[in-house]
Chains A and B, each alone.
Chain A
């Protein structure tokens, strides 16, 4: 899946987690803008992992702060 298709799929997956209806851009941060706690992060990561059939380890998650970085990482992890 290329970056555009990956971005489209992630946009769909983030919808139920974006409870405050924040307008998400590539620069949106998960901790700051979306104010997610660790459990929400885990559930969201699990949704992405299950949909794309990938693993995003905690080590990799530590490098992902923004929505754009997540799309990059998921695009890359699909190999």
Chain B
């Protein structure tokens, strides 16, 4: 018998070697108690959180929590059904109404996760014979959606407008075309030149889908994302987003002005063949989305923290993923996995949690310590974080 698990042997060995060095397992951390959006008790230690996607700090917003508690009382713990059968409650509709208002768009469809939103929309609209042209650094959920849909998949070099245009021009006459871009690329925290890319996509007859998961609530005058910030949101056919970042709970969505959009509810398999979100989740989400419409003060504070942290880490001599702060993600590039894990552990012992990211999630085989800021990080916390990075970086020999 061939052991079907033998394909995982190289990874098992890599993990064994890493942990044999005595380093704390970076992929097995437990948050024992969560004190606030920015502080938790991890492995018995009070820790500043700098690796969550809780950009706007909505997880502990009193109105959001109250809405969730009320929904538990009024609607119960779960829906036990698909959105298209018995799983659409008032809260799901309220969520979709809030999203339509938030983005100023005609249609909104709520999925059970952001992953499923990409999986469902992409695989349903781009099928056999259609062409998907996408950035090589796209998120796993986008790649999986491409694979599930049987379209011809044509990647281009990250943020390379010319490479994208060349590929679009070579697609056979008459074929359906979908260009997929992200507002913020979550590994390095860099943004896309969406305005120019969308113009080129449209000139070549493509529909455009933009994943704004890491920009919602934060980037753009109304927090609608990078496309809004660059003045090209009206040219985006489909915006994909998530409730598990700025919104502060879990779930995914697509908003669109396409006149036939509603038919997707019947043909999109990851929407139909799964249980809908629990009432407490959709009520917290709807409340949070409405509050995010008025989040300018928080957005300004988050930008300030992001710029301060970026500048100070750069001045300390760390190599960063972007030349300046482009989002709430600041990626610190590590020389290799071993020193990355050692630095991660040193920071944890200082009382700081960041994300350790490694291939295949990262581009170009990089090991990254990804810092993501929250609007609730105080000025003092940001200064404390900078001090922790300085001590840990010197101890591990990275700076």
A binds B: yes
Complex: chain A residue closest to B143, CB-CB: A58
Complex: chain A residue closest to B160, CB-CB: A46
CB distance from B177 to the nearest CB of A (A): 12
- The answer to whether A59 and B136 touch across the interface, beta carbons within 8 angstroms, is no
CB distance from A74 to the nearest CB of B (A): 13
Complex: chain B residue closest to A55, CB-CB: B170
The CA of A58 and the CA of B144, in the complex, are separated in Å by 13
Complex: chain B residue closest to A54, CB-CB: B170
A42 in the interface (beta carbon within 8 A): yes
The CA of A4 and the CA of B163, in the complex, are separated in Å by 28
> When the two chains form the complex, which single residue of B154, B157, B166, B365 contacts A57, counting CB atoms closer than 8 Å?
B154
Contact with A along B133-148 (1 / 0, CB 8 A): 0001000000000100
Contact with A along B164-197 (1 / 0, CB 8 A): 0011001100000000000000000000000000
> When the two chains form the complex, which single residue of A42, A50, A60 contacts B155, counting CB atoms closer than 8 Å?
A42
- The answer to whether A49 and B152 touch across the interface, beta carbons within 8 angstroms, is no
CB distance from A62 to the nearest CB of B (A): 10
Contacts of B263 in A (CB 8 A): none
The CA of A33 and the CA of B388, in the complex, are separated in Å by 45
Contacts of A43 in B (CB 8 A): 157
Chain B residues in the interface with A (C-beta under 8 A): 131, 136, 146, 152-157, 163, 166-167, 170-171, 363-365
Given contacts A37-B365, A46-B163, contact A57 B170 (CB under 8 A): no
The CA of A71 and the CA of B82, in the complex, are separated in Å by 49
CB distance from A5 to the nearest CB of B (A): 20
Contacts of B136 in A (CB 8 A): 39, 42
Contacts of B364 in A (CB 8 A): 39
CB distance from B266 to the nearest CB of A (A): 27
Chain A: residues with Cβ within 8 Å of the partner, total of 14
CB distance from A49 to the nearest CB of B (A): 7
The CA of A10 and the CA of B153, in the complex, are separated in Å by 22
The CA of A48 and the CA of B31, in the complex, are separated in Å by 49
- The answer to whether A42 and B153 touch across the interface, beta carbons within 8 angstroms, is no
CB distance from B180 to the nearest CB of A (A): 13
A72 in the interface (beta carbon within 8 A): no
The CA of A49 and the CA of B146, in the complex, are separated in Å by 21
The CA of A55 and the CA of B146, in the complex, are separated in Å by 17
26 A–B contacts, CB within 8 A, in A order: A39-B136, A39-B363, A39-B365, A42-B136, A42-B155, A43-B157, A46-B156, A46-B157, A49-B170, A50-B166, A53-B170, A54-B170, A55-B152, A55-B154, A55-B170, A55-B171, A57-B152, A57-B153, A57-B154, A58-B146, A58-B152, A58-B153, A58-B154, A58-B155, A59-B152, A60-B152
The CA of A45 and the CA of B155, in the complex, are separated in Å by 10
Given contacts A37-B365, A39-B364, A42-B136, contact A49 B155 (CB under 8 A): no
Scan residues 3-55 of chain A and give those whose CB is less than 8 A from a CB of chain B: 37, 39, 42-43, 46, 49-50, 53-55
CB distance from B144 to the nearest CB of A (A): 13
Complex: chain A residue closest to B162, CB-CB: A50
The CA of A64 and the CA of B152, in the complex, are separated in Å by 15
